Structure 1
Amino acid sequence: MYFKTLLSVVDVNQSNDDLNVAIDLCSELNAQLSVMVVALAELPPIGDYPIGTADVWLKQRQEDQDALARRVDEIEFLVQDADISAAVTDEYPEMARAGHLIGRRARYADVTLIGADLLANEGLRTKAIDGALFESGRPILIVPKDSKPTLKPKCVLLAWDSGVECTRAAREALDFMATATEVHVTMIDPDTSSIANGAEPGADIAAYLAHHGVKIIVDRLPSGGDPIATVLKQHAIDIGADLIVMGGYGHSRLRERIFGGVTKSMIDESDVPMLMAH
């Protein structure tokens, strides 16, 4: 079954670009759109602040909440004009709670859209990705700037390393891959040991997907010393992939943020839309 509910997380001050992408995808799949409008609240003043600081904080909160209400009204008109089934809600959390609230809302959607405007939002981007990916049990769809997302792709790159994360991603994308013209199971420097990819890397997942009617091509690529993310991104361009399917954060988030990693590089630099699961 194709995705039937899509969650779009938007900052109160961002443009309608991500929403328009979400509307187009919902129209493509005849799916319902859930919009979560978020404004991040400042923490209350504490300690020996000058007299009047609390009043300034309360005034700012009221202005934020008024802006949030206006933005919800604007979006409700937008989705009404788009003639799709939609529900619009709002949240006004402190930064520390934002990821949890987004993750909780994402549990009730089939996929969460992380659009280009949200990717450019330094305050909300990490909370949205972490919350949706780690606290919902659902995949996320990352849509880079100037890309053309579709959930009916003709050519799919499945990044494969035999890990749990990419296994989950493959299962989430199974229906899309079954209708694609070709799916490239792509492995970079595959480990042929028995505890990794086995003597014939990619054969196991290829057999599984073939049973579901997926048209499989197994690509085993050398990195040549380049980062794995660089090889994946170039291969996606070379094969004309409409969508990259991959697991997210095979290593810990802290390790990836400190030392870098495939997930972080793909989120930061890919030009092709990605369906990612953890």
Structure 2
Amino acid sequence: MLKDIAAFIPLGNPKSVVDYAVSMAETFNGHVEGMAFVYQPVITSMAYGAIPADVIAWQRQEGERQANAAFDEFTRAAKSAGVSFGTQSFQAVPGTAGDIFGEVARRYDLTIVGQPDPEKPNFDDVAVEGALFGSGRPTIVVPYIHRGPLKLDRIAVCWDGSRAAARAIGDAMPLLKKAKAIDIVMVTKERAKSDDVPGADLATHLARHNLPVELHRLSAGNMDVFYTILSYVADAGSDFIVMGGYGHSRLREFVLGGVTRGILKSLTLPALMSH
């Protein structure tokens, strides 16, 4: 069960993550821990001594002010919902928050983070990759445009037979059990053989858990796979996506797989990803 939830609260746009994380804790009668980073100024050796001490102090104070403002919004929402909650702040220099958060998130059942806003890049953007690839726990990414609480009436499960997809489905089982409809979505670039029904075994598996499943096999044609998925969930009226997260680390930088990168960039629904 999802009893212990970590929520990375983005300083620039806390509301989408705050509302979603609090409603998740309310739905599963769990605890939610709000987390934020206070970023320390980065001063190069060449600039050291050239920047006035009061400017550096102001930057630190501004970081603390933003974190406290995010915590205030989180605290109000959690108290209003009557859920168990706590807050933690961490000191970090830009670029290190992802690694730190990934390690912290290992001690929770689930992590909730915000989708980076391409129009407003900031230091918090590394939280998604840190949670997905560094925590070993399922990660829910909430779109920066999302408003409202957790809704699980119709869930789209992206299935390609991979290890990551299987892991995501297992991690999402407490959420799947609350759905009224589950669409297993398979996207291919070619036609299947007439006697081949990919995904039927997964549909059978989920049906044995008494889950309301339907199998949908889509042809991407010349369209990118992630666009095919997002187009389908929009037409189907889905509330939530479950999928594997693909990528690897190279020189401490995360290299995302094409579908994962495309989904994260264009995400319009909350999505659970597992790696």
TM-score (norm 2): 0.83
Q: Equivalents in 2 of 1:72, 1:235: separation in Å?
A: 34
Q: Equivalents in 1 of 2:132, 2:256: separation in Å?
A: 20
Contact kept in structure 2, 1:72 and 1:88, CA below 8 Å: no
Which residue, 203, 206, 220 being the options, matches 1:206? 203
Unaligned runs of 5+ residues in structure 2 are none
For residues 248-275 of structure 1, what are the alpha-carbon distances to aligned partners after superposition, in whole Å with 9 as ceiling and x for unaligned?
12x4477xx8897211221121222211
Q: CA RMSD in A?
A: 3.1
Check 1:120–1:244 CA distance in 2 against 1; reply closer, same or farther (3 A cut): farther
Which residue of structure 1 aligns with residue 87 of structure 2? 88
Question: Where do 1:248-267 residues align within 5 Å?
Answer: 248-249=245-246, 251-252=247-248, 261-267=258-264
Which residue of structure 2 aligns with residue 277 of structure 1? 274
Give the counterpart letter for 1:264 in structure 2: R
Deviation at 1:70, TM superposition (A): 3.9
Contact kept in structure 1, 2:19 and 2:148, CA below 8 Å: no
After TM superposition, the structure 1 stretch with the greater mean CA deviation from structure 2, 131-140 or 26-35, is: 26-35
Which residue of structure 2 aligns with residue 29 of structure 1? 28
Contact kept in structure 1, 2:169 and 2:242, CA below 8 Å: yes
For residues 193-232 of structure 1, what are the alpha-carbon distances to aligned partners after superposition, in whole Å with 9 as ceiling and x for unaligned?
9xxxx94311222222222222221111111211111111
Contact kept in structure 1, 2:146 and 2:269, CA below 8 Å: no
Deviation at 1:164, TM superposition (A): 1.0
Give the counterpart letter for 1:219 in structure 2: H
Which residue of structure 2 aligns with residue 240 of structure 1? 237
Which residue of structure 1 aligns with residue 39 of structure 2? 40
Give the counterpart letter for 1:222 in structure 2: S
After TM superposition, the structure 1 stretch with the greater mean CA deviation from structure 2, 5-14 or 97-106, is: 5-14
Secondary structure of 1:92's aligned partner: strand
Secondary structure of 1:217's aligned partner: strand
Which residue of structure 1 aligns with residue 130 of structure 2? 131
Which residue of structure 2 aligns with residue 155 of structure 1? 154
Deviation at 1:162, TM superposition (A): 0.5
**More helix, by proportion:** 1
Q: Is structure 2 residue 18 aligned with structure 1 residue 19?
A: yes
After TM superposition, the structure 1 stretch with the greater mean CA deviation from structure 2, 109-118 or 125-134, is: 109-118
Q: Equivalents in 2 of 1:147, 1:141: separation in Å?
A: 15
Give the counterpart letter for 1:53 in structure 2: I
Q: Is structure 2 residue 111 aligned with structure 1 residue 112?
A: yes
Which residue of structure 1 aligns with residue 72 of structure 2? 74
Unaligned runs of 5+ residues in structure 1 are none
Contact kept in structure 2, 1:191 and 1:201, CA below 8 Å: no
Check 1:35–1:258 CA distance in 2 against 1; reply closer, same or farther (3 A cut): closer
Secondary structure of 1:218's aligned partner: strand
**Alignment length (residue pairs):** 269
Deviation at 1:50, TM superposition (A): 7.1
Q: Equivalents in 2 of 1:261, 1:70: separation in Å?
A: 36
TM-score (norm 1): 0.83
Runs of 4+ in 1 over 6 A off after TM superposition: 117-120, 190-193, 257-260
Deviation at 1:147, TM superposition (A): 5.1
